[in-house]
Chains A and B, each alone.
Chain A
């Protein structure tokens, strides 16, 4: 069973629907026991880092995610959920993340030419820096996925498995052992996105 962490941030409709579509057994939960019983955990998130980090702390669910990750359970952070896996973010101040991945989350606009728009919104091509990684086993070099974000993970070369070009090499997917993340939205990235979710869930690809 896959648990989607519900900690009061963002809309989980599409993520839940996409998992139903690929035939994965998933539950949306804010309950620590259910989370502990899950084989795999998905940490979603949209909005501001500080607000989300505070909610993860306040609900105690952040600690549960960290504990389960350290016990070897697969964890996939999506968008802000991926950023929260890192050590810290510099989104409006400095805020601690869950520390499951090493690196920082920083303002994209500070690192790209002024002519490029922020947020980075739209379909961008993936460059697979570690194409052999199981999360990317159904993905090909150049496949496009859907991004919506203004901050991005950096100083994390060791865990980066895919990037996208947007004035700078944007960290698109990360993995360190059983802890994984996508900056883009697999649940909004059509066939490619569904296949990434299938890979996370241990399912075969479909066209």
Chain B
């Protein structure tokens, strides 16, 4: 029986882990390598690293950190942020990433997912989508949630999977940072549209939100969160104990 994955997400800027609340107001949290080791030792099933830097020098610093993380921990690593070209895929895969997450880059270059899937395999390409309700529809937002692309999220995700995206990370801007639970309605719509793994992101406030996620939507494969893990509001062992008590298969 395949287990549900619990994935802490680490946003990295200037060599440090930060976490945005509703994408605004960044807090410095900790050293990425130490945090990655901590999570790996404490039952994280996978880690996501987002490079939220912009400059060239910072990007080099990010890949140095990624290399150190990949030399230290031996669980799957997904890397996102600033992935715009096949060269970006290459750069992070060489540093030990297993999966590469594309977001705005796939919106700018509609051929990117297809080309990456062909070169590295579907399992390597993750389509990350920031979506928000606009006029009763789910709309794709770009550039860290600041720009309305006008794209319908469900159509966009269906198309991404058709092009070869092997996994979807759905981040609901509506629930992100609010800590009242995942966006079950939006996630359900995505799960019904595609048959690749779906990772829920945005809104977890506690263990009960993960239990509700996996009980309500058995097709969701994983739950991702950042601040509640970084600030110790929920520990992964306690979260997994709560999931197991509710009959949800987890790796212990």
Contact = CB atoms under 8 A, between A and B. Distances in A.
Interface residues of A, number: 28
Q: Which of B94, B122, B167, B251 has the most CB of A within 10 A?
A: B251
B132 interface: no
B166 A190 contact: no
Nearest to A189: B74
A121 interface: yes
A14 B98 contact: yes
Contact of A188 (B95, B98, B121): B98
B5 to A, nearest CB: 6
Interface stretch (A32-40, A53-61, A87-95, A122-130): A122-130
B45 A121 contact: no
Contacts of A189: 74-75
Interface string B1-28: 1110100000000000000000000000
A123 B45 contact: yes
A121 B75 contact: no
A133 to B, nearest CB: 22
A102 B243 CA distance: 40
B234 interface: no
B95 A122 contact: no
B122 A122 contact: no
B195 interface: yes
A122 B5 contact: yes
A71 B5 CA distance: 42
A46 B196 CA distance: 19
B29 interface: no
Contacts of B71: 17, 20-21
A119 B96 contact: no
Contacts of B166: 119, 121
A146 B196 CA distance: 17
A32 B121 CA distance: 28
A148 B195 CA distance: 15
B144 interface: no
Interface in A155-187: 165-166, 187
24 contacts: A13-B95, A14-B96, A17-B71, A17-B74, A18-B74, A117-B197, A119-B166, A120-B2, A121-B167, A121-B197, A122-B3, A122-B5, A122-B45, A123-B45, A123-B251, A124-B3, A144-B3, A144-B251, A146-B75, A146-B76, A148-B123, A166-B1, A188-B74, A194-B74
A-B interface, 4 closest residue pairs, ranked by CB to CB distance from nearest: A144-B251, A123-B251, A13-B96, A17-B71
Interface of B: 1-3, 5, 40, 45, 70-71, 74-76, 93-96, 98, 121-123, 166-167, 195-197, 221-222, 251
Interface of A: 11, 13-14, 17-18, 20-21, 46-47, 117, 119-125, 144, 146, 148, 165-166, 187-190, 193-194
